[in-house]
Structure 1
Amino acid sequence: MYIVRFGIGIFNKKSSYKEYYLDMDTGIMGMGWGRPDNFVDQIDPQSNGKFSFLYCLPVVNLQTVYRKTMSYLRFGADIPTQPNSSITNLQRVKDMALYYLELQGISLNGRRLNISATVFALRGNIGSGVCIIYSSLGYSRVAKHAYDVLLGELEKHYLKFKNLKRYNSNPLNLTMCYERDKEEEFKNLPIITFHFKGTQANMVVIPEGSFEVVDRYNSNRKRVLWFGNVIRAHQQTNQRSIYDTKRKQLLFYLENCLKNA
């Protein structure tokens, strides 16, 4: 089996690491736009400027990362239609290959947080401040003011549960870490929603995409970790994302990506 990696490529270079799975790479498919070495621009003449692609990322966290899962990168006519898709515009910033979105707010368990949309507004001409959607592995980054508000609301949420207590030391260097007395996986963890400008453009992030639940060393207890304007792969878990580069739109909707991804 040979592997081609894909992502919002800017400067695409094959890794020199000699790990088994990296040695099997046959190439890297850069799906950014506005650069001649990216697949999107290379295929543009053949698609008459109507190129679109789709990915659907299954749940991948510290518990599932070593399981064999399969997903697909789909193009053009192979992309299934969904009439009730959320739609938001894809924006360009100068000659950047990244996909920018107009983020307007964040909700926790359906309640809009007191964060001004100006926190996510474009500042300068290099893409500062504005939200980016990115298929790289890893966790989202949130502007500091928005992050502080979200952190405060999460703390209030956790106070409702007596079996949760703050754990100040954690191996992943994260701001927020809680410990609980029994194994409950993702039970009682809140849903985070990103609100974008557009048609029903609310990206609902399931708890598996916002939190990590890992075993504590030498204990049966579990600790809950939350990671902290980049929407990365972890937060796109079970989200079918369609990039329509002709219309400059992102279409997305919730989907079980392990089934018919």
Structure 2
Amino acid sequence: MLPGTKNLSRLLQLAHKYGPCSPLKGRKSKIPSLHQILIDDQTRVNSIHSKISNQQYSPVADSIVKLPANDGGFLGTTNFLVKIGLGKPGQNFTVEFDTGSSLTWIQCQPCGANQCYTQQDPYFNSSASSTYSNTPCSSNACSQLNSAGYAQSSCITNCIYHVYYGDGSSSQRYFATDTLTLSSSDVFPNFEFGCGENSQGTFGSYKLNSSTDGLLGFGRGQISMVSQTTQKYGGLFSYCLPSTTNSTGFLAFGSQVGNSSSNAQYTPLLIDSNNSSYYYLNMTGISVRGKKLSISETVFKTSGTIIDSGTVITRLAPTPYLGLRSAFRQAMSKYSAAASPDSLFDTCYNLSGYSKVELPTIVLHFGGGAEWNVDQSGIVFGGNSTPFCLAFAGNRDATQLAILGNTQQQTFEVVYDIVREKLGFGAGACS
């Protein structure tokens, strides 16, 4: 039970995809290697960078801006799962949730041989639902989908979505509506989603048999889960990502839960008119061991920063990363350096012989004076048979977008208040 939780009907359990609390069956045989996780993570980051590389970063804080649907097609390594119901009567599905995507989709019957990947649950049977309806090509919803790059332009009768992902994978078929159920009291008729009958690609080499049934989009587009439930939840949701695969977190709607309410700090959410599906933040600095690094705020503004639940390792512009790396290495000088297990990392240590390790504190500074004191679990990445590495990486150049990844978000309740255009974070929120 989560302390301070008042309304469990608006709260879903959030589990790591490969942990013992995962709702997936047979997960142990499908756990990817560290190398594979990082390959998929870099694929996602490359896709995000590629999407915006030719567009100017111009975020504005404007709570009345209507956000168009945008292409959130970068599944990459979304690792956290929730369970939902779809249809009437409801059919249950296990889906990955992603703040970097707006379109929700699941695999639907008929999924023929070589057209869909194997999943744990039966494919969605739209014929068994009394409230299922295909979206007509002539509808406003299909026009919106088409303008966002999700729909095929050759639409004749029923609206056809087609979404591509960063590794070359794709999902397509009918853009439809049906009843979405989160709990007995949280039911949403006419929920817009993709009913996929053709899912191509591997979603990473191990993901072909990942068994998840689809994707729950929490981006900022008008077709996202957030936008479609605004009338009930007021554009407010939060989550806590667990720090280990053996523990669980939560995904909550409409109110803040857990112990973090009293210590939450807030920073403005910004909008990039060219990429309105992402959640932009104003990152202003970094401190290591209580000392702020000498980095101009202009450096952070040049790259821009988003927060993303699907990116694992936080990416920084070269100057902030090199400053962080230098200060971290100095603080860790008494420990033995180790060879990196992957090219993404360049600062690793063999800590197997130590009963206690003193990691330096790392604080990320954001607009409005908010300070994100990264949990110890979010400072280094690795363990077991691999070295521990600094859980940050540098982008190739100063204009590439910085991304606050899910490793640094662990154990915090991260609160997205869309209507008030602010993001909050409070420590010690998971069970």
Change (3 A) 1:256 1:87: closer
Match of 2:290? 110
Distance 2:252 2:118 in 1: 29
Q: What does residue range 158-173 of structure 1 map to in structure 2 within 5 Å?
A: 158-159=332-333, 161=334, 164-167=335-338, 169-173=339-343
Change (3 A) 1:213 1:248: same
Distance 1:84 1:170 in 2: 36
Q: Is it true that 1:225 corresponds to 2:389 in the alignment?
A: yes
CA drift at 1:5: 1.6
Change (3 A) 1:226 1:73: same
Q: Deviations over 1:36-91 (max 9, x none)?
A: 331122223x248x22001011103xxxx4x3x32221111464672442010000
Match of 2:187? none
Match of 2:226? 40
Read off the aligned partner of 1:4 and give its amino acid letter: V
The DSSP-based 3-state class of the residue aligned with 1:238 is coil
Q: Return the TM-score normalized by structure 2.
A: 0.49
Distance 2:256 2:358 in 1: 37
Change (3 A) 1:138 1:181: closer
Q: Deviations over 1:178-211 (max 9, x none)?
A: 22461436x2111211000115x10011221120
Structure 1 segments of 4+ aligned residues over 6 angstroms from their partners: none
* Corresponding residue to 2:212 among 25, 37, 40: 25
Distance 2:289 2:304 in 1: 24
CA drift at 1:166: 2.1
Q: Return the TM-score normalized by structure 1.
A: 0.79
Instruction: Identify, as 1 or 2, the structure richer in helix.
Output: 2
Match of 1:76? 254
Which residues of structure 1 form unaligned runs of 5+?
Answer: 124-128, 217-221
Identity %: 26
Contact 1:9 1:29 (8 Å CA) reproduced = no
Change (3 A) 1:225 1:17: farther
Match of 2:364? 194
Q: Is it true that 1:135 corresponds to 2:309 in the alignment?
A: yes
Match of 1:244? 417
* Corresponding residue to 1:207 among 368, 371, 376: 376
Which residues of structure 2 form unaligned runs of 5+?
Answer: 1-22, 24-92, 108-115, 121-206, 394-401
Q: Is it true that 1:56 corresponds to 2:229 in the alignment?
A: no
Q: Is it true that 1:148 corresponds to 2:328 in the alignment?
A: no
Change (3 A) 1:23 1:247: same
Change (3 A) 1:137 1:131: closer
The DSSP-based 3-state class of the residue aligned with 2:322 is helix
Change (3 A) 1:181 1:11: closer
Q: Deviations over 1:93-135 (max 9, x none)?
A: 01421000111100112111111111110x4xxxxx1111111
Distance 2:106 2:287 in 1: 38
CA drift at 1:4: 2.2
The DSSP-based 3-state class of the residue aligned with 2:408 is helix
CA drift at 1:235: 0.5
> What is the Cα-based RMSD across aligned positions, in Å?
2.6
Distance 2:313 2:291 in 1: 22
Structure showing greater radius of gyration is 2
Contact 2:99 2:278 (8 Å CA) reproduced = yes
